[in-house]
Amino acid sequence: MDSTAPETPRGRAPEDASPREDLLGAEGLSFAYGRDLVIDDVDLSVRAGEFVALVGPNGSGKSTLVKLLLGSLEPLTGAARLFGRPPRSVHRRGRLGYVPQRPNLSSELPATVREIVAAGRLTDGRWWRPLSRTDRDEVGHAIASVGLSELSRRPVNALSGGQQQRAFIARAFASEPSLLVLDEPIAGVDAASQRLFRDSLVHLIREHGAGVLLVSHELSAVADDVDRVIVLKQRVLFDGRPADLAARGVGSLGVHPEDLPIWLEQLS
């Protein structure tokens, strides 16, 4: 436990997140696929009200790190913490919003935007209950926050790639999360959608004190709002304010320029 993280009430409403609560963390985290060490001695934390970007070249272990943090993978050494506890012991996940990389909705069956987003209300052990009026309202708000209200009764597989991605982001918003983890959420999303996306993220952080971990190659849409950048290439190469990263120059980190995320080039 991080001694600076105060005791916080464990409610699920985002307002309950105290400003300093440690939402997500790693200490000495390592992981290997077979003999290939993919994550090597990683420390990190995401606190309430904080907007953290996790960047790194392809194959740097970003997605693996996310899986470790959320308990989908067991670490080789070290420990991950979700809301201050081992991730696998956190069964009620209503405070967590998650946007997976390339959410693969196989298009065998039609499903409307509303049906996809409503799945976001299944968390917190509510998976067997019918939708309440509150649930319906929250689903409506989440859809509106990504600008899909007019398309909410359309089948998702009839929408553009960017619109589909917004539907999956709305699903993560629907549980009113106090921690949002997004794996490459804006790849392939058009500029207008990116602005909407940025606005809803900033709203969630400023108004509800949520913490956000955004894994990305391209951060131009949100670069101004990020509090902290973590550069990952198997190990943590940099963890600090974007301005400090720009001052140091990315080259000093030993990352090959061609592997650089687009926005890092702009900084340096």
Partner 1 sequence: MIVADLMLPFPFELGFMQRALLACVAVGAFAPAIGVFLVQKRLSLIGDGIGHVAFAGVGAGLLVGWAPLWTALAFAVAGSLGIEWFRARRRTSGDVALAIVFYSGIALGVVLISLGGGLSADVFAYLFGAPLTVHPSEVRSIVGLGLGIVLTVVALRRALFSVVTDEEWSQVAGVPVRALNLLLAVLTAVAVVAAMQIVGILLVAAMMVLPVAAAQMVARSFKGALAISIAIGIGASIAGLGVSRVAGSAPSGTIVLVAAGVFVVVSIASRSAHRIRGTVEADV
Is residue 185 near partner 1 by the rule CB under 8 A? no
Range in contact with partner 1 (rule: CB under 8 A) among 26-34, 87-95, 218-226, 246-254:
87-95
At CA 67, angle to CA 66 and CA 68, rounded to 5? 90
144 part of the interface to partner 1, by CB under 8 A: no
Terminal alpha carbon distance of the chain: 36
Q: What is the largest CA-CA distance in the chain?
A: 55
Of 110, 139, 108, 142, whose CA–CA distance to 122 is shortest? 139
Give the helix ranges, DSSP H, for the chain.
62-70, 113-118, 133-145, 161-173, 191-208, 242-248, 262-267
- Interface with partner 1, residue 46, by CB under 8 A: no
- Residue 133 contacts partner 1 per CB under 8 A: no
**Is residue 230 a contact point for partner 1 (CB under 8 A)?**
no
Q: Does 166 contact partner 1 by CB under 8 A?
A: no
Q: Does 175 bind partner 1 (CB under 8 A)?
A: yes
Q: Does 105 bind partner 1 (CB under 8 A)?
A: yes
Asked if 63 interacts with partner 1 (CB under 8 A), we say no
Which tokens is 161 given? Answer: 């790639």
| 41 touching partner 1, by CB under 8 A | no
Answer for which of 98, 197, 238, 263 binds partner 1 (CB under 8 A) is 98
Cα–Cα dist 45/23, whole Å: 8
108 is an interface residue for partner 1 by CB under 8 A: yes
DSSP letter (8 states) at residue 32: E
Residues that bind partner 1 (CB under 8 A): 70, 72, 90-94, 96, 98, 100, 103-106, 108-112, 115-116, 118-120, 122-125, 127-128, 131, 153-155, 168, 171, 175
